[in-house]
A and B are shown apart, each in its own frame.
Chain A
């Protein structure tokens, strides 16, 4: 029966998608189907307000191997909308499902509504420079980034869980070793203040000066992508931007950050934005509340001193 399909390889995200699905249901009047695959943990799923829960069970534990089975489910049920968790695996699975269904897919939708027989979505374009509102014909799919919606709460109903056998063996693909990425556990999105380092800082050693500035503000240290991905001076979970962390601290303080749109997209909702940059025309100043034009090697020590006294 036509419905709204929910799937993520990450169960926390599944619960967030259920919230989005239930909002769509109000206008679409269609049931919300939650799909889990393999051994995914059912806890807290069957007692949300979702209408039906299906577990696809196959012999291959690799989440991506379920793309065919999810597409089959979607076409058998003639689903009208599919919301997928915007993880790397989820985006791959969603695109494969979309191709098999011949359906449209909106990547990292920030909002999803039902309007006039279509899904109406918003998303960022050009690295965050613009917001596009798009209309998607049914069946319409979207991926949704983590934390776009709150997790669905529990209701007093207990949904029956239906298990479906899935043939998900893949002949040409075998999965080798997986390694967890070691994180230092910093949750940048929770920081109240962030001092962010850009490539204006010339050497890794100079980060100690930035550390001192951060300390003087009681701030966490963040950075631009180049500092993490190209120079490896700071761990990747500290870089801010459209492809990195999205942060909304009370204060974002950029030092030697030019303010390219891809970086701004991750921090422009900060309460107060401050910048130090040598180049008066750096785009960061258009995005800033306060700024100083100058050499950071001159300004930062003066600032640390002023903050200490």
Chain B
């Protein structure tokens, strides 16, 4: 019966981030946090594996304001959540994040299976699963669209652009899953209520035995600028669609975009 750990990231919802036209900085004041979209697929997959094979699902995150995330995570079928809540996460790159998660996993592990999403919806670094596997000395498999567990054997189907590949693993592994691996179920009322009674544990970053250097990012941001779209924004919204259509066709004709007549 596998003991599974899912890594998740508590990220700003990009839909609520606005670009300030002056200086193109990002206004995140309206943005709420969410579980990174694809991490929900990773959680869902862990829960499905346990529904089939027995075992347990725990989740872990390195970030800030993590307490707010517990209810959502625990209502998705996770048994226990670990949080490393630290302001160091604000400027952490994948190097630091992987160091922190690997150190925490050494403390609370071992796990038969560690699941990550292939990338997070904010920075989409696509590194954590691979880095964790290297740091923990475990097989690491990315871009996985299907997982089958049998005893201590795992088969993972990868999607690699021009081919699919099945990888068989004996023993523990770190697997990064693609969003297409499953459809995420919406937690039931019962699950949401039960979540409040499930355990959570905070792990202090100082207790992980990491050196200052291991917590110092290698990649630092010099600037972040909103991507500007300079478009004509001519929108036809008359009640009469025939009018709108002929105006649009006239505009497209001017742009030289109508099909040449042979």
Contact surface of A with B, Cβ cutoff 8 Å: 67, 87-89, 91-96, 98-100, 102-107, 120, 124-137, 140, 170-181, 183, 193, 216-218, 229-230, 242, 250-251, 260-261, 264-265, 268, 272-274, 280, 285-294, 298-299, 302-303, 306-307
Contact = CB atoms under 8 A, between A and B. Distances in A.
A302 to B, nearest CB: 5
Contacts of B135: 99
A172 to B, nearest CB: 5
Given A135-B222, A181-B162, A292-B237, A99 B98 contact: yes
Contact of A290 (B127, B140, B252): B252
Given A274-B248, A292-B237, A133 B94 contact: no
Contact of B140 (A92, A107, A127, A307): A92
Given A99-B130, A180-B163, A303-B249, A218 B259 contact: yes
Interface of B: 12, 14-15, 17, 19, 26, 93-95, 98, 119, 121-127, 129-135, 139-143, 155, 158-171, 173, 179-180, 183, 217-227, 229, 231-237, 241-242, 244-246, 248-249, 251-252, 255, 257-260
Contact of B222 (A89, A134, A173, A298): A134
Contact of B237 (A92, A178, A293, A306): A293
B178 to A, nearest CB: 9
Given A290-B234, A292-B235, A294-B244, 16 more contacts: A87-B160, A87-B161, A89-B160, A91-B142, A99-B130, A103-B95, A127-B14, A129-B19, A136-B218, A173-B170, A181-B163, A230-B183, A265-B227, A274-B252, A292-B236, A306-B246
A200 to B, nearest CB: 15
B142 A125 contact: no
Q: By CB atoms of chain A within 10 A, which of B164, B169, B223, B235 has the most?
A: B235
28 contacts: A67-B134, A91-B126, A95-B131, A104-B93, A104-B94, A104-B95, A104-B219, A105-B125, A106-B219, A126-B12, A129-B26, A130-B17, A130-B26, A132-B223, A133-B224, A172-B169, A177-B166, A181-B162, A242-B124, A260-B15, A261-B14, A272-B255, A272-B257, A285-B235, A286-B231, A292-B236, A292-B237, A294-B241
